[in-house]
């Protein structure tokens, strides 16, 4: 059948198109692929057709191998079967064999909506988000937290394969251990950072009491969500899904925006200082779930530490380190001036 391309404005990969068409035809005889466009690292947008119907797909290539790809596929598959399921792409197939496309991959449906993927600069510079009204951004914030709450409500037993705890280890301890291992791998190659090492000590000194762990998105960022009319939202980017306190996701979401806002201000732009403020996030999440997040400043500082490690080889290193230093200072100030009250950052 003739298939119309909807991704003609993006870089095409004819070799990928032909390879995927051969693979797809083994599942749907006569299937055709009109286009395969590289959208981001490890992501290919595909326009295909079979059984007389067009199908808009996303192919997610594994970056670290078969195991990681299969875990993402299972995570999305099981999220779709939850009683209070979040909106996520529907997964169709998972291919463990790297032969067809050069790496293991899974295939999911492509969802329509607004994202930040088309921008070369952070969304805080100039985007449909900066052009929105305050009321529209409020709707967007609520919609995102409603979807996140559905992730946190997922049945833990369905995601046991994401539980990285060792005997006697808490979910947060397991997450920090894995972060420590990542930094040790980087530092063993000669990239050491005294600020990062001080931050690990800061975590130990300010370790919070831990609530029951839940399924966490693991990469909770505005950049990983799809929006429609600032309300409906779908969550993507599940390669870091894990178990942990709810605050792990909330802190990461706040920190991600705080960093994007810092970059805007460094560039002389107004940014979005009234969006995703810690106090607002905590209050909205409590309204949605009945759960009152605590120690958010700790989790924001931890998210800043993770981000600093991620950017240690990047031109953004200086700003990431600045964000980490400021997050630790803010959390320490709140602890010293407001002891006995859960840390929730700005209000």
| 266 and 138 together in one domain | yes
Q: What angle do CA 62, 63, 65 make, to 5 degrees?
A: 65
| Number of structural domains found in the chain | 2
| 24 and 78 together in one domain | yes
Share of the chain above pLDDT 70, in %: 92
| 72 and 144 together in one domain | no
pLDDT digits over 250-287, tens only? 999 999 999 999 999 999 999 999 999 999 999 999 99
Residue 329: per-residue pLDDT:
95
Residue 345: per-residue pLDDT:
40
Domain enclosing residue 77, as ranges: 14-109
Residue 64: per-residue pLDDT:
64
Share of the chain above pLDDT 90, in %: 82
Mean residue pLDDT of the chain comes to: 91
Q: Are 235 and 268 in contact (CB under 8 A)?
A: no
**pLDDT grade for 191, boundaries at 50, 70 and 90:** confident
From the list 51, 96, 97, 219, the catalytic residue is 219
Q: Distances in Å between the alpha carbon of 319 and those of 104, 253, 301, 315? A: 35, 17, 14, 9
| 314 and 197 together in one domain | yes
Tokens encoding 95: 């291919």
Residue 337: per-residue pLDDT:
64
CATH code, 172:
3.90.1200.10
Q: Distances in Å between the alpha carbon of 162 and those of 75, 157, 171, 226, 291? A: 9, 10, 11, 24, 23
Global confidence as pTM: 0.91
Residue entry with tokens 């919070």: 208
- The answer to whether position 345 is within a domain reads no
**For 130, how many CA atoms within 13 A lie in the half-sphere containing its CB?**
18
- The answer to whether position 233 is within a domain reads yes
Region 177-196: mean pLDDT is 93
Q: Which of 17-21, 66-70, 218-222, 334-338 has the lowest mean pLDDT?
A: 334-338
Using CA atoms, how far apart are residues 186 and 312, in angstroms rounded to an integer?
A: 9
pLDDT digits over 94-123, tens only? 999 999 999 999 999 999 999 998 888 999
- The answer to whether position 186 is within a domain reads yes
**pLDDT grade for 334, boundaries at 50, 70 and 90:** confident
Residue 338: per-residue pLDDT:
57
Whether residue 340 is predicted with pLDDT greater than 50 in this model: the reply is no
Region 123-152: mean pLDDT is 97
**pLDDT grade for 336, boundaries at 50, 70 and 90:** low
Whether residue 87 is predicted with pLDDT greater than 90 in this model: the reply is yes
| 267 and 144 together in one domain | yes
Please indicate whether residue 229 is annotated as part of the active site. Answer: no
Beta pairing, strands 214-216 & 242-244: antiparallel
Whether residue 1 is predicted with pLDDT greater than 50 in this model: the reply is no
Residue at which a domain ends, from 71, 93, 109: 109
Whether residue 157 is predicted with pLDDT greater than 60 in this model: the reply is yes
User: CA torsion 82→83→86→90, rounded to 10°?
Assistant: 50
Residue at which a domain ends, from 109, 126, 148: 109
Q: Are 320 and 259 in contact (CB under 8 A)?
A: yes
Region 167-178: mean pLDDT is 97
Q: Are 244 and 175 in contact (CB under 8 A)?
A: yes
Q: Are 44 and 51 in contact (CB under 8 A)?
A: no
- The answer to whether position 146 is within a domain reads yes
Q: Which of 6-20, 59-73, 172-186 has the lowest mean pLDDT?
A: 6-20
Question: Distance between the two ends of the chain, CA-based, in angstroms?
Answer: 57
Region 195-215: mean pLDDT is 96
**CB burial class (10 A; 0-12, 13-18, 19+) of residue 270?**
exposed
Using CA atoms, how far apart are residues 141 and 112, in angstroms rounded to an integer?
A: 19
pLDDT digits over 229-245, tens only? 998 789 999 999 999 99
Residue 10: per-residue pLDDT:
52
CATH code, 91:
3.30.200.20
- The answer to whether position 125 is within a domain reads no
- Could you give the angle at which helices 246-266 and 278-289 cross, rounded to 10 degrees? 150
| 257 and 164 together in one domain | yes
Q: Are 31 and 48 in contact (CB under 8 A)?
A: yes
| 148 and 35 together in one domain | no
Using CA atoms, how far apart are residues 59 and 35, in angstroms rounded to an integer?
A: 12
Q: Are 145 and 281 in contact (CB under 8 A)?
A: yes
- The answer to whether position 3 is within a domain reads no
| 99 and 138 together in one domain | no
Tokens encoding 22: 């051969």
Residue entry with tokens 């409590």: 286
**pLDDT grade for 142, boundaries at 50, 70 and 90:** very high
| 307 and 254 together in one domain | yes
């Amino acid at each position: 059948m003739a298939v119309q391309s909807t991704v003609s404005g993006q870089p095409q990969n004819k070799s990928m198109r032909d390879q995927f068409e051969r693979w797809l035809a083994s599942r749907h005889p006569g299937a055709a692929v009109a286009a395969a466009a590289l959208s981001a690292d490890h992501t290919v947008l595909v326009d295909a057709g079979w059984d007389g119907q067009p199908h808009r797909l996303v192919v997610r290539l594994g970056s670290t191998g078969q195991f990681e790809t299969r875990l993402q596929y299972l995570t999305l598959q099981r999220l779709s079967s939850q009683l209070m399921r979040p909106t996520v792409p529907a997964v169709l197939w998972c291919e463990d064999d790297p032969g067809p496309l050069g790496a293991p991959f899974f295939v999911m449906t492509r969802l329509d909506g607004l994202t930040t993927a088309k921008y070369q600069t952070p969304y805080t510079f100039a985007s449909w988000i900066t052009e929105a009204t305050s009321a529209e951004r409020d709707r967007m914030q609520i919609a995102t937290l409603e979807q996140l709450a559905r992730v946190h409500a997922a049945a833990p037993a369905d995601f046991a394969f994401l539980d990285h705890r060792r005997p006697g280890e808490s979910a947060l301890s397991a997450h920090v251990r894995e972060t420590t291992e990542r930094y040790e791998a980087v530092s063993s190659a000669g990239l050491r950072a005294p600020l990062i090492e001080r931050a690990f000590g800061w975590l130990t000194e300010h370790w919070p009491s831990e609530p029951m762990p839940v399924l966490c998105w693991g990469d909770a960022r505005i950049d990983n969500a799809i929006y429609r009319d600032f309300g409906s939202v779908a969550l993507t980017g599940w390669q870091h899904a894990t178990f942990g306190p709810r605050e792990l996701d909330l802190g990461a979401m706040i920190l991600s925006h705080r960093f994007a806002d810092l970059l805007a201000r460094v560039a002389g732009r107004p940014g979005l200082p009234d969006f995703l403020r810690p106090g607002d996030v905590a209050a909205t999440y409590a309204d949605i779930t009945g759960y009152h997040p605590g120690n958010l400043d700790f989790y924001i500082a931890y998210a800043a530490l993770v981000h600093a490690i991620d950017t240690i080889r990047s031109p953004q290193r200086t700003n990431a380190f600045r964000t980490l230093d400021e997050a630790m200072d803010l959390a320490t100030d709140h602890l010293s001036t407001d002891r006995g009250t859960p840390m929730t950052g700005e209000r």
